[in-house]
Amino acid sequence: MPTTTALAIPYPPPTGVAPDVPYHLQQLAEKVESILKGRTWAPTKTGWDLLTSAAQSIPTATATSPTWDTEATDTDGFHTGTAQTVTIPAGLGGVYCMGLAVTATATLTGRCFLDLALGGSNYRLPFPAGDDRAALSITVTLPDNTTVVPTVLHTSGAARNLSARFQGWRIAQ
C-alpha cells in the first residue's frame, strides 16, 4: 500500500531514540501539524441562511416580514417551514451575527427601512428613497428561545416586489 510522503515517519528512529510508540505518535503529530499550518477552512457553523425563492409582493406602508421559503442552511431547527421568524433553540443562546438584505425589482420611494425585532428591542436601518437594495447587519447576544422577526417597510404608494436573504451565525457562546 502506498504511503503519503508528508506522513512518512522515519523508521528506525534516529540513533539513541528507542523505537517506542510515544516517539512515533509525536512524529506523526508533528507531521500532521506541519501539513495543517497555513491551511484555512471554515469551522462548523451554527445558524441559518434563509431566502425568498422568488420576489414577494410587499404592500406599501405596512411593515412586512418576508416568507422564508428556502433554507440554504438551518443547522439546528432555528426556522420552521415557511415561517417568517427564527427562534434560538434551547441550549444555543450566545452571540449571533445576523444580516438581513433585500433587493427590490423597482426603485423604492418614500420612507423605507429594514428592521430586526428581538427580545423587546428593534434594530432598524432606514434607507433613502431611490435605492433598490439595502442590508442591515448586527451582532447581538441572544438568549435561548428568543424569536427574531425581520421586517421591511416602504411607502412607495403601491406594493413592490422584493427578494430577501436573512442569515444568522452563532459566533460565541
Q: State the average pLDDT for the chain.
A: 84
> What's the one-letter identity of residue 52?
T
pLDDT per residue over 26-59, tens digit each? 556 666 666 667 665 555 789 999 999 999 999 9
SS3 138: strand
| Across 122-151, average pLDDT | 94
pLDDT per residue over 7-26, tens digit each? 444 555 555 554 544 555 55
Strand partners, 140: 96
Host H or E run for residue 140:
strand 133-142
Higher pLDDT, 117 or 27: 117
What is the pTM (predicted TM-score) of this model? 0.75
